[in-house]
Structure formats: C-alpha cells, structure tokens
Amino acid sequence: MEKYTLIGHPLGHSMSPFIHDELFRISGIEATYDCTDIAPETFSDRMSELRALNGFNITIPYKRDIIPFTDVLDESAKRYNSVNCVHITDGKAVGYNTDCDGFLLSVKAKNLALSGNVLLVGCGGVGRMMAIEAALHGAELTIGIIPEAASAAAALADEIHFLKPECKVHVKPIDSVKGTFDLIINASPVGMYPKVDACPVSVELIGTCGGVFDAVYNPVKTKILQIAESFGKPAVNGTAMLVYQAVKAHEIWNGSSYTDEQVQEIISKTNELIAGDFK
C-alpha cells in the first residue's frame, strides 16, 4: 500500500484527499492520501516521517521551506523557487512545481488564449507564476494592481524581462485598465467566499474579453465567472487547476495517465462538493 499526504499549516477542509483518491481509484493503484498539519516549530523534525512516504504535496506556508529538505529540484521548482510536490524515489526527495502544469492544462482545456493580450489581476504567489508562464508563452501582459502591490509588480516585470527580454509588460492600477484582452486572469482573492459579490474588473472589460480564468474556486461560480458566462465567454475556475496539478503529481509518482473525460469528471465532482460545503 503506497502512502501520500498533503502538508501545510493551518490545514482546514481540503479537497485534495478526494481528488487524489479518485485518481488512485481510476489508475487502480492501492494507496492512501491524507492531510498532515505541521506546526512551524516542528517542521524540520517531521522530515524523516515524510521521507518514509512514497510522496507528498505541499501547500501554504511550506512551498519554499521544503526546498532545503529536498535532494533534487526539477526545473519547474527551480524557476519558481517553490515546491508543491515531492516524489521519494531511490531514497531521494525530488521536488517539483506542478501548480504551473495545473494552470497551463486548465487554460488549454478551455482553449483560452494565453499567448495573446493578457490581463493579470494580482501578482503575488500564484500570480507570479501565471505572469511568467503567460510571458513565456508569448503574451503581451498587463498586470493590474492595487497601490500596495506596486513594488512587487515592478520586481515581477523586471524578472519577466530577464527571462524574456522581448516580452511587453505593462503595470497599471487595476481601476485604470482599459482595452480589449484575449484573456483575463484573476490571481487575486477578490470574489472569494465570503465576499462573493466582489469582482476584480469591470463588466465592460469582461464583456469585451476572449475568456476568463479565475484562480478562486470557492465559490464555484465567482462574480467574474458569472458575468463572463452571461456574455457567452469561456470561463474556468480554480478547481480545474487544483485537479490538473494533482494529475501531474500522479504522472510523476506512478507514471499514471488519464483521459480528458476522466479529468473533467473529477473537476465536476469536486465543484459539486465545494458547492455543497459552502452553500
């Protein structure tokens, strides 16, 4: 019986065990997947316990803290200095970043235009990864920010220009952004439960865009997604990213593969569970 877990602190209700259990069931692998809440003061003491597993996932606040305890880093983890998936193989802990895979596969599944004119709202955490991936895929990128994020956005723009000097990056206050975008990405918490009536951009911007990706998955249908769908725009929430990053972890851990239909079924089931939990 293989054993896996999710580590973080604090760990509230997580959809990860359900998602991973579904993936193990489909692939026919006998395995357990649970959650392990680790207090910061005991973090380093738990490494031998974690290395006895077949693998584990990492969430806030340990995606960087885990790096010194890995033996090898995949290129994805090096690029973002962030690890959310570890594979224990041949006695070594190999660190990966599958968040980027989850994002890219979610966008691809909806045929959203990551290589076009992209507006990104928010630039911290996952937003940094999304901005870099958009730039690497050829986007002209506008980063819409609140005043408090000005220095972080400027640093991110410099980082993008270092990685891809020819990329066009614009940093603007979000309430001043105008124009037409092929894709709007919300990487901010705006619209997240319980403030479900908030929307990160104007109705006008949504109405003229090509599609919307919202990293928020609670609620399942945020205000920005509701508006996008009312205009007939393709729109996807953060559940898809959550499931696809887990799919990538299973590919790493066991070489498992899944059909589009199987993945979409798990996304639908997960959305149903989220909607039920937070009615």
The tens digit of pLDDT for each residue in 172-184 reads 999 999 999 999 9
Q: What is the CATH number of domain 112-233?
A: 3.40.50.720
Residues annotated as part of the active site: 63
Give ∠ CA 115-116-122 in degrees, rounded to 5.
90
Strands 55-58, 72-73: parallel, antiparallel or unpaired by DSSP? unpaired
Strands 55-58, 85-89: parallel, antiparallel or unpaired by DSSP? antiparallel
- In total, the chain counts a number of residues equal to 279
Task: Please name every residue paired with 214 in a beta bridge, in sequence order, or none if there are none.
Answer: 186
Supply φ then ψ for residue 65, to 5 degrees.
-60, -25
CATH superfamily of 2-97+240-277: Leucine Dehydrogenase, chain A, domain 1 (3.40.50.10860)
In terms of Cβ atoms closer than 10 Å to its own Cβ (0-12, 13-18, 19+), residue 111 is exposed
Supply φ then ψ for residue 262, to 5 degrees.
-65, -40
Write the pLDDT tens digit of every residue in 16-58: 999 999 999 999 999 999 999 999 999 999 999 999 999 999 9
Q: In 3-state terms, the chain is what percent helix, strand and coil (to 5)?
A: 45, 20, 35
CB atoms inside a 10 Å sphere around CB 256: 16
Domain regions of the chain by residue span: 2-97+240-277, 112-233
Tokens of 152: 């972080």
- pTM, rounded to two decimals: 0.93
Strand order in the sheet with 117-121: 169-173, 140-145, 117-121, 183-186, 212-214, 235-236
Domains 2-97+240-277 and 112-233 share a fold: yes
Write the pLDDT tens digit of every residue in 83-136: 999 999 999 999 999 999 999 999 999 999 999 999 999 998 899 999 999 999
Tokens of 110: 């909806």
State yes or no: cis peptide before 10, omega within 30 of 0. yes
